Chains A and B, each alone.
Chain A
Amino acid sequence: MYPSRFRYEAPRSIAEAIALLREGGDDAKVLAGGQSLVPLMKLRFASPELIVDINNLPGLDYHREDPDGTIRIGALCRHADLERSALLKARQPVMAAAAPLIADPIVRNRGTLVGSLCHADPQGDWASVVTALGGFVVARGPGGRRTIPIADFVTGPFQNALAPDEIAVEAIIPAPKGALAGGYLKLERRVGDFATVGVAVATESSGGKVTRAGIALTGVGGSTINATAAAEALVGQPLSAESIRQAADLAAEAARPRTDHRGSAEYKRHMVRTFVVRILSRGDGGEAAAGNGGEAGAGNGSEAGAGGGTQNSAGNGTADGGAERAA
């Protein structure tokens, strides 16, 4: 790899890091997992003059739950930490579903959730998951600390709300007010490919009714799409085949896909609809999604793909998945 010339700094404190970023201005970049930045530098699509490597900053590799149920993910928490997290498996089914679907194992070993949010790739998975869950990003800068709702944090394709001298230090997933359910489904051509289509769905229910819902879409627009109308369609009533269908149609409407080598626009819209139905239909048992492509796409001479019911059955109301790697 032969990137353009750059200066490399590895500060030991946040204050030092912020000072360096202040000095570097627009030509400085923060390096955490490097799984997006480094390929861009290799291709010379990005040629920052200053790299501020934050991997030596202490105390940022955590993910934990506050007593009130809020989940906090530090800037150096790797995808692999989340994939293996007992906490997420027990408490956060949507994130637990998404974590094993991020890129491939090698990327997951180094890449970070917060870094993925900062990169704001319209095909990034975490932004959809955090959007569906109504999460926040915490930034630290010379003026102190501020908490930014994810919808305001991602400002466009590959654009975020950080000032040049701010560092995103934490992502926050608020505590659910009811029973949390949902999942993340992703269609990709191969492990490690960007999503052809990804759908994150989160619902909170109490008293038999959905009290909050979030639906966000990956890879079907210029940026992460927050399908608010689709989510609204679920709220205030019990989950039913009718409300699910309505939400799925509205989510498909919210998608802005383009025809490309991953698939036609029409197909991608169809897959948004299909995934919304599949995620939401799992918990109520009756409507277990048909077809295969489940069991993490294995094939491999196993029983996988032998038809309905081979998908990860998890998701709604359970804590261990709702994940599917199709294709």
Chain B
Amino acid sequence: MSQALDEIKIGGLGASRKRVEDDRFIRGRGNYTDDITLPGMLHMEILRSPLAHARIKSVDASKAWDIPGVRLVLTGEMMATRNLAWMPTLSYDTQAVLATDKVRFQGQEVACVIADDPYIAKDACEAIDVEYEPLPVIVNPVQAQADGAPVIRDDKENQPDNVIYDWEVGDKAGTDRAFEQADVISKLKLHYPRSHPSPIECCGSIADFNRATSKLTVYMTTQAPHIIRAAVALVAELPEHMIRIVSPDIGGGFGNKVPVYPGYVCSILASILLERPVKWIEDKSGNLISTGFARDMYLDSEMALRKDGKILGVRIHADADHGAFFSDAQPSKFKIGLLHSAFAAYDIPAGHLTARGTYSNKAPGGVAYRCSFRVTEAMFFQERMMQAAAVDLGIDQAEFRRMNFVQDEQFPYRTAFGFLTDSGQYAKCLDVGLKAVGYEEFRQQQAEARKRGRLLGLGISTMTEPLGAGNSREYDILGIKMFDSAELKVHMTGKAILRTGAKSQGQGHETTWAQIVAHELGLPAEDVVVEEGDTDTAPFGMGTYASRSTPVAGAAVAMVSRKIRAKARKLAAHLLEVSEEDIEWELGRFYVRSAPDRGVTIQECAMAAYSNMPDGMEPGLENTAYYDPPNLTWPFAVYIVTVEVDPETGVWDVLNMVAVDDCGVRINPMIVEGQIMGGLTEAYAMSSTQFITFDSEGNCVGSNYMDYMLPSAWETPGFELHSEVVTPSPHHPIGAKGVGECAAVGGPAAFVNAVMDAISDTGVRNIDMPLLPDRVWEAIKYHRDVSGAPPVRADD
């Protein structure tokens, strides 16, 4: 009997295999959109509005046309003649491609120049004269809903005000009853500031329309190439089979590269008009000032509690500031995304959530940034509310959470807002975290330090995140159901190529997908090459965002491997001259049940598929699987942070951070840890320094890396990661749950809770993020809440 394969050695499930894509990235041999040069290629630059809200009185491009090397100037007016001045958004609104009537946010696209080189294009943009008539500016939902507020979207019929939607979910009557029965009602109001996904590579595209073949090829930075193909087919009215979207290497996405942006549309139109390739590469300010942002939500809520700590119900109201266009790239039928996943980890009988979306003179977006469609706001609010409620009740932070957790035996658990959580061991994760951080000892240390005027604090945050959008019943984009796909072709020598409908932007698909194949088929992972992002070759899929790759495309990889294995089994039976029922499988090998040393390897089966198949069998060994998940997957995590706050300066330092992630089965533990560390870094950034905000004139503060503070290695605290709790997803083929966003989702509340705990003697209930030292100092000095985004406060 042959030795069974060692799964870790072949790079299967659980192997911390080095990322195969890193070799080319580290050597500078990646192939990003801006690396691509096509013969005869022209360059496009965008002229953006300096004002947040203004009527366009005139656009005079004559001086731009006069500059040698300028090939085309596109204005809103020219787009309008082609019915392209506006485009549909993924949230059933419209968005200006190039402004015609008004500009509605600072940085909005007003005109484009296509020229021989980018220097000329930029010079020509500066030569375009735009005459603006400034209009009153709206930068938050309060202003948007004020009496007499200017209507931002006066382009739309039946839009008398700035309200986009009112939406609700849950049981209002039941929740009202819970509040009537409450001993204590806890309240909390907060703002989750606007942030930006800020991938290091900005957006860009190279459109190449070939008149001879009528084919349009677009190389572009998109996380969802097939959706873009569908959108281009619909917007540009080109036949779908004549459109090829290619996503080459992508330098980070974080949700920023899901939407369709005006730059893509203009480069496509320009290429069609000029019959030459047109390259558009966004600069950093353009990316930060105009593309899909995240958060910017005001939450005002209350919790009904029994004296003993039992949560009876929760009421949540959210005001979401969507910017000038409702362009959320989110596939749920819920207007406010998955905000109602809040409190999903807690056994709460009743809940009611209302949400209102409003327009403002700010860049459009709202759901991007490492977040499964507003789960970040949900979990942040949940854990800030849990902290406030525990303080109100005088119950220990950890104990309060433990007593309200959904218990292990309650799964599958229907939440008050209607989600069905699949599995978890919440209390166990909390225990691991408390032990790691030394909870009891820290509380003693904290009390002693306080006597000497030192402020130590500990913050707990838990999170559970609905991942894997979707199932096709509840999730679609433009009517296309949310499934994903994988195609596996095993060559005769047992080497293979795998393609999926997802698209890696740093997640490491080329590494991990091969590991799933290795796990299912026993092919060494290094024998499987992974290709994604080309709509001419990849199977149709919905792309990568919302931590959906592993839950959906990853599942498809497992399923297609199983289809291959099923055929290989028939080939094995043929080779071994026994009936299929007599065949057993071990990793990489079929053998005869009654004679285990008689067997054939998967590679021998592959060769037979091309050279020795049984009569009547279709040759070849390839297949495709489309996977429609039966439910979302629900990873869980506990994050605990300890800090010290300097009472004199408001500066706070992280002493320790412990992360306990239960994301189900880990395909590549090293990549999972990298994802968690990256997410925690972003969580720290959002809690401490990182935000985009606007002054009263709608000027964007945070439109470059001097003001939009990505943390460096210097500031970023160390993290202690724990992986000892593993609850496999009961419905995912390999038990994985997804992890890419968890730490960014659950992390921020842990940092904020720790600082609030440190200054709890002041009685201050909330400091809105980011917790810049001056805000912490203000809270300590004046014993008052510090609310809103920083520049909102007036000088003197």
Binding site for B on A (CB under 8 A): 2, 4-5, 43-44, 104, 187, 189-194, 196, 258-265, 267-268, 270-271, 274, 289-293, 296-302, 304-308, 326-327
Known: A291-B649, A306-B644. A299 touches B715 (CB 8 A): yes
B795: chain A residues within 8 A (beta carbon): 258-259, 265
A268: chain B residues within 8 A (beta carbon): 774
CA–CA, A169 to B93, complex, Å?
Answer: 60
B45, B126, B648, B720: the one contacting A291 at CB < 8 Å is B648
Whether B88 is near chain A, meaning CB under 8 Å from some CB there, is no
Q: B793, A264: Cβ atoms under 8 Å?
A: yes
B651: chain A residues within 8 A (beta carbon): 187, 291-293, 297, 326-327
A4: chain B residues within 8 A (beta carbon): 123
- For the complex formed, measure the closest distance between the CB of A211 and the CB atoms of chain B, giving whole angstroms: 30
Q: A299, B454: Cβ atoms under 8 Å?
A: no
Known: A261-B791, A326-B773. A190 touches B707 (CB 8 A): no
Tell me which of B180-188, B599-607, B652-660 binds A.
B652-660
A326: chain B residues within 8 A (beta carbon): 646, 649, 651, 773
CA–CA, A327 to B687, complex, Å?
Answer: 13
Q: A290, B453: Cβ atoms under 8 Å?
A: yes
Q: B791, A260: Cβ atoms under 8 Å?
A: yes
Q: A262, B715: Cβ atoms under 8 Å?
A: no
Q: A189, B653: Cβ atoms under 8 Å?
A: no
Binding site for A on B (CB under 8 A): 45, 118-119, 122-123, 126, 285, 449, 453-454, 643-657, 689, 693, 701-702, 706-707, 709-712, 714-720, 772-774, 777-778, 790-791, 793-796
Q: B706, A261: Cβ atoms under 8 Å?
A: no
Q: A187, B122: Cβ atoms under 8 Å?
A: no
- For the complex formed, measure the closest distance between the CB of B783 and the CB atoms of chain A, giving whole angstroms: 15
The residue on A at minimum CB distance from B684 is: A299
Q: B773, A301: Cβ atoms under 8 Å?
A: no
Assuming A267-B650, A292-B645, A298-B714, what are 6 further A-B pairs, CB within 8 angstroms? Answer: A2-B119, A187-B773, A259-B796, A267-B773, A268-B774, A296-B714
Q: Pick the most buried of B449, B644, B702, B716: most chain A CB atoms within 10 A of its CB.
A: B644
Q: A299, B772: Cβ atoms under 8 Å?
A: no
Q: A193, B709: Cβ atoms under 8 Å?
A: yes
Q: B654, A305: Cβ atoms under 8 Å?
A: yes
CA–CA, A189 to B774, complex, Å?
Answer: 11
CA–CA, A259 to B794, complex, Å?
Answer: 7
Known: A262-B772, A298-B714, A301-B718. A267 touches B778 (CB 8 A): yes
B649, B718, B790: the one contacting A271 at CB < 8 Å is B649
Q: A263, B774: Cβ atoms under 8 Å?
A: yes
Q: A190, B644: Cβ atoms under 8 Å?
A: no
A187, A306, A308: the one contacting B655 at CB < 8 Å is A306
Q: B649, A307: Cβ atoms under 8 Å?
A: no
Q: B772, A259: Cβ atoms under 8 Å?
A: no
Q: A191, B715: Cβ atoms under 8 Å?
A: yes
Known: A193-B706, A193-B709, A307-B454. A299 touches B655 (CB 8 A): yes
Known: A267-B778, A299-B655. A189 touches B648 (CB 8 A): no
17 A-B interface contacts by CB (under 8 A) = A5-B123, A187-B773, A193-B706, A196-B773, A261-B790, A263-B790, A267-B778, A270-B777, A290-B648, A293-B651, A297-B651, A298-B653, A299-B653, A299-B715, A305-B652, A326-B646, A326-B773
A267: chain B residues within 8 A (beta carbon): 650, 773-774, 777-778
Q: A189, B791: Cβ atoms under 8 Å?
A: no
A270: chain B residues within 8 A (beta carbon): 777
The residue on B at minimum CB distance from A300 is: B718
B45: chain A residues within 8 A (beta carbon): 2
CA–CA, A311 to B653, complex, Å?
Answer: 12
B122, B644, B707, B772: the one contacting A292 at CB < 8 Å is B644
A189, A259, A263, A299: the one contacting B654 at CB < 8 Å is A299
Q: A265, B796: Cβ atoms under 8 Å?
A: yes
Q: B707, A261: Cβ atoms under 8 Å?
A: yes
- For the complex formed, measure the closest distance between the CB of A245 and the CB atoms of chain B, giving whole angstroms: 14
The residue on B at minimum CB distance from A263 is: B774
B643: chain A residues within 8 A (beta carbon): 305
CA–CA, A238 to B359, complex, Å?
Answer: 62
A189: chain B residues within 8 A (beta carbon): 689, 709, 772
CA–CA, A300 to B680, complex, Å?
Answer: 13
- For the complex formed, measure the closest distance between the CB of B762 and the CB atoms of chain A, giving whole angstroms: 16
B712: chain A residues within 8 A (beta carbon): 104, 190-192
B689: chain A residues within 8 A (beta carbon): 189-190
- For the complex formed, measure the closest distance between the CB of B173 and the CB atoms of chain A, giving whole angstroms: 44
B777: chain A residues within 8 A (beta carbon): 267, 270
The residue on B at minimum CB distance from A265 is: B795
Q: B655, A5: Cβ atoms under 8 Å?
A: no
Q: Pick the most buried of A193, A274, A292: most chain B CB atoms within 10 A of its CB.
A: A292
Q: B655, A274: Cβ atoms under 8 Å?
A: no
CA–CA, A177 to B388, complex, Å?
Answer: 58
A306: chain B residues within 8 A (beta carbon): 644, 655
CA–CA, A193 to B690, complex, Å?
Answer: 12
CA–CA, A37 to B650, complex, Å?
Answer: 34
A44: chain B residues within 8 A (beta carbon): 122, 126
Known: A189-B709, A263-B773, A265-B795. A2 touches B118 (CB 8 A): yes
CA–CA, A136 to B720, complex, Å?
Answer: 50
Known: A4-B123, A187-B651, A267-B778. A327 touches B720 (CB 8 A): no
Q: A190, B709: Cβ atoms under 8 Å?
A: yes
CA–CA, A304 to B652, complex, Å?
Answer: 11
A192: chain B residues within 8 A (beta carbon): 712
Q: B119, A5: Cβ atoms under 8 Å?
A: yes
CA–CA, A263 to B771, complex, Å?
Answer: 11
Q: B653, A304: Cβ atoms under 8 Å?
A: yes
The residue on A at minimum CB distance from B284 is: A42
CA–CA, A268 to B774, complex, Å?
Answer: 8
Q: A261, B653: Cβ atoms under 8 Å?
A: no
A290: chain B residues within 8 A (beta carbon): 453, 646-648
- For the complex formed, measure the closest distance between the CB of B682 and the CB atoms of chain A, giving whole angstroms: 14
- For the complex formed, measure the closest distance between the CB of A127 and the CB atoms of chain B, giving whole angstroms: 18
B657: chain A residues within 8 A (beta carbon): 301
Known: A2-B119, A189-B709. A305 touches B644 (CB 8 A): yes
B645: chain A residues within 8 A (beta carbon): 292
Q: A297, B653: Cβ atoms under 8 Å?
A: yes
The residue on B at minimum CB distance from A273 is: B648
A5, A190, A304, A327: the one contacting B773 at CB < 8 Å is A327
A292: chain B residues within 8 A (beta carbon): 644-646, 651-653
Q: Which 5 A-B pairs have the closest CB atoms?
A: A305-B653, A291-B646, A263-B774, A301-B718, A293-B651
- For the complex formed, measure the closest distance between the CB of B705 and the CB atoms of chain A, giving whole angstroms: 9
CA–CA, A305 to B718, complex, Å?
Answer: 13
- For the complex formed, measure the closest distance between the CB of B778 and the CB atoms of chain A, giving whole angstroms: 7
CA–CA, A264 to B119, complex, Å?
Answer: 40
Q: A308, B774: Cβ atoms under 8 Å?
A: no
B710: chain A residues within 8 A (beta carbon): 190
Known: A263-B774, A267-B777, A301-B718. A307 touches B793 (CB 8 A): no
Q: B711, A190: Cβ atoms under 8 Å?
A: yes
Q: A301, B717: Cβ atoms under 8 Å?
A: yes
A193: chain B residues within 8 A (beta carbon): 706, 709
- For the complex formed, measure the closest distance between the CB of B327 and the CB atoms of chain A, giving whole angstroms: 26
The residue on A at minimum CB distance from B719 is: A301
